[in-house]
């Protein structure tokens, strides 16, 4: 690996480290889900820290650079375990504690196997990437990493499609969107490696994990909902007539906010009122004012309309 490649990849890792550290700084441990999210952040931050050190030390000391890459892989086993644990925490799964104990135990076993030399035989710093030389248990470790991610996605998909709690379903939907880049990167790299290509996630993985963390941070803080609502409000205002009065604009924005809150909560008025910061009685009056039918936002409403 030449100096330009090492500096570029090290800079990417450093930027990802700073962004993820900022996310970690703005995350507060309020409940089990936020605690699980902090664990995800910590392992991702650790990955980028040792990745940065690995690239910038390799040119002067290849042995030290390889040591940091080994540490990066050790953090990866726990990072993907924490992703699965986080998915269970978001959906308030009764199996949370059991799965957490099992997955972190398996990560520890893989870490011990890795340190013992059974997972990776070495590294090839090739061009603009680092390629691992597989050991006897390399594909076992990679399968475990991918399996954690896939199980997390399948778990979220199950709750999104069949969950009874509107808040849980909404959490699952946003999480699936956030998980998509990580799944895409992990799957693509492993498939290309199986096909014999020297593929690497040195650039794509830091970007995918930053996207995941920021989306989840915005969601858990409630910012994502308001950001989406503001965009739709802007579009609605543009569509109004040029001479529209201020009262009409305000009413249009308020109507969109109520509709988005009902959509997010599957027509649950109490939950929607809490999101909007309104008393339920006030929300009920505004539903009448804007002629909004709550039943249209409940599960199965579209199917009932088609049948009728």
Q: For residue 234, what is the domain's CATH number? A: 1.10.10
* Boundaries of domain holding 215: 3-221
DSSP 8-state class, residue 134: E
For residues 144 and 103, what is the distance between their CA atoms, to the nearest angstrom?
A: 10
pLDDT at 152: 92
Same domain, 27 and 168: yes
pLDDT at 238: 72
Same domain, 240 and 189: no
pTM for this one? 0.72
DSSP 8-state class, residue 265: T
The CATH number assigned to the domain holding 153 equals 1.20.1070.10
Same domain, 174 and 276: no
pLDDT at 305: 45
pLDDT at 304: 46
pLDDT at 128: 67
For residues 139 and 148, what is the distance between their CA atoms, to the nearest angstrom?
A: 14
Short-list 33, 6, 18, CA closest to 202? 6
pLDDT at 308: 44
Short-list 75, 52, 40, CA closest to 6? 52
pLDDT at 118: 95
CB 17 within 8 A of CB 49: yes
Same domain, 146 and 8: yes
Same domain, 209 and 234: no
Q: How many domains does the chain have?
A: 2
- Spans of the chain below 50 pLDDT: 224, 302-308
pLDDT at 228: 59
Same domain, 255 and 196: no
pLDDT at 300: 57
Same domain, 133 and 101: yes
Same domain, 238 and 156: no
Structure tokens at 22: 């900022």
Same domain, 197 and 241: no
């Amino acid at each position: 690996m030449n100096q330009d490649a090492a500096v570029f990849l090290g800079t990417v890792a450093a930027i990802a480290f700073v962004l993820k550290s900022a996310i970690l700084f703005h995350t507060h441990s309020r409940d089990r889900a936020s605690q699980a999210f902090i664990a995800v952040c910590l392992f991702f931050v650790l990955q980028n820290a040792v990745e940065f050190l690995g690239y910038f030390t390799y040119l002067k000391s290849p042995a030290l650079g390889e040591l940091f890459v080994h540490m990066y892989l050790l953090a990866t086993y726990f990072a993907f375990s924490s992703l699965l644990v986080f998915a269970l925490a978001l959906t308030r799964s009764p199996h949370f504690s059991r799965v957490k104990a099992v997955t972190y135990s398996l990560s520890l076993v893989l870490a011990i196997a890795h340190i013992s030399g059974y997972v990776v035989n070495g590294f090839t710093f090739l061009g603009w990437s680092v390629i691992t030389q597989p050991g006897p248990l390399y594909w076992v470790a990679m399968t475990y990493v991918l399996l954690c991610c896939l199980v997390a996605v399948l778990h979220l998909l199950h709750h999104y499609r069949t969950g009874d709690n509107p808040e849980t379903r909404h959490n699952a939907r946003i999480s699936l969107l956030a998980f998509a880049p990580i799944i895409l990167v992990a799957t693509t790299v492993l498939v290309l490696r199986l096909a014999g290509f020297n593929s690497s996630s040195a650039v794509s993985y830091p970007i995918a994990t930053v996207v995941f963390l920021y989306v989840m941070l915005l969601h858990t803080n409630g910012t994502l909902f308001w950001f989406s609502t503001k965009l739709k409000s802007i579009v609605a205002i543009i569509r109004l007539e040029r001479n529209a009065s201020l009262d009409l604009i305000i009413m249009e924005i308020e109507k969109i906010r109520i509709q988005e809150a009902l959509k997010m909560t599957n027509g649950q008025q109490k939950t929607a009122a809490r999101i909007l910061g309104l008393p339920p009685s006030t929300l009920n009056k505004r539903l009448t004012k804007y002629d909004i039918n709550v039943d249209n936002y409940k599960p199965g409403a579209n199917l009932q309309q088609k049948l009728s």
